[in-house]
Chain A
């Protein structure tokens, strides 16, 4: 059901333009934010740079700026700007663009939170735009602290309208996603916190990747996926404070969907303080998934559904993360005390013979007027 054929302008994102807008936004936030603020523990700006490089020759550079700002004691704003600058080409692009191709994605989001006693209500929106894909999300959330802060119950709902363009044609398709979650966070002891959550999502509409091709009767063709996907996620996390300023973090996520794709994700990490200024962390994540029920390495005859989308193939992956956060006592590079430098390096391996290295560097700067 192709909708709005050709009605949408192509919006070829120029990397320089987007990066310029990002820098202007960050500058604006840094210059003006401190002048109308109130002192708070949480008011800060995060400027991060992510680099992602994988064994298919794809490099993604992603600067992001996150801002948390308190307008009153009860009302706060979280805003985010980010860019993914994609260079070199993946297998699917290389078919038509053997010399490589550049692409970019820009994302902006804002969430307004307001406290009513022990209850916090949030409302937010996110918009992302890239070549051949646009996503618009509206979200609401509510959380409540109970038992002197020992229990937090939270829930939320989000609606997304996603609009993929069926490149190389100009047809725009539509996809509607409803997403609801609920979680409980419980302090068990003076050193233990657990959190369990469920998330249910329903996606309707066009869900086939226009770029990834399936082998149908020996010919590579765009896939055809069902128009309905129901997704269920259960997650559980535990944080345990150990002796010697060390903290243990274990998480498990179980996922199932109506395409019969099941996955398990298990993570374990340790963080340790070294003096007052350094927190070093290491973590491992083990992931496995089955393929969607209509997945096959190649198809013959005239199947109803077929896919060349690697995300729907069965595979396992391992992720190893190392991170250092440095918060010098007198502030970073002459900035305010509390400003911090974060460096992170990750390696990702999959059984699809696809590996990646991910680097992140960033600074966090607190702001806000000091209480009189």
Chain B
């Protein structure tokens, strides 16, 4: 492993995300009519968005780190 990787862990993270994006199609696919549990609001990452936004706000003003909340997707394939 090149030393530049150790110096910059984010590179490995970017690589991991790209890898997942590239191979995502190869995953065994769940059919639209099999999403009974996945359609539950508890399975979406945006559930309780108002609470999540508030938590990020107060945590970022009291802790030294931030980020990771700007992501979305998942849930019910209902159109």
Residues on A close to B: CB < 8 A? 41, 46, 48, 50, 52, 60, 62, 64, 66, 80, 141, 143, 145-154, 156, 158, 179, 181-191, 193, 195-201, 231-235, 237, 239, 241, 247, 249, 253-257, 261, 263, 265, 271, 273, 279, 287, 289, 292, 310-313, 317, 323, 325, 342, 344, 350, 354, 358, 360, 362
Contacts and interface: CB of A to CB of B under 8 A. Distances in A.
Contacts of A350: 62
Given A253-B68, A360-B54, A193 B29 contact: no
A289 B25 contact: no
A70 B19 CA distance: 34
Dominant secondary structure of chain A at its interface with chain B: strand
B34 interface: yes
A151 B25 contact: yes
B1 interface: no
A311 B38 contact: no
A195 B32 CA distance: 19
A124 to B, nearest CB: 11
Band of interface residues on B: 35 or more
Nearest to B79: A149
Contact of B42 (A234, A239, A254): A239
Given A147-B29, A149-B77, A181 B71 contact: yes
A235 B27 contact: no
A233 B74 contact: no
B2 interface: no
A184 B58 CA distance: 26
Given A239-B43, A263-B65, A199 B54 contact: no
Contacts of B75: 193
A331 B50 CA distance: 20
A237 B49 CA distance: 16
Contact of B74 (A148, A193, A310): A193
Given A232-B9, A239-B42, A241-B43, A143 B73 contact: yes
A64 B74 contact: no
Interface string B60-79: 01111111101111111110
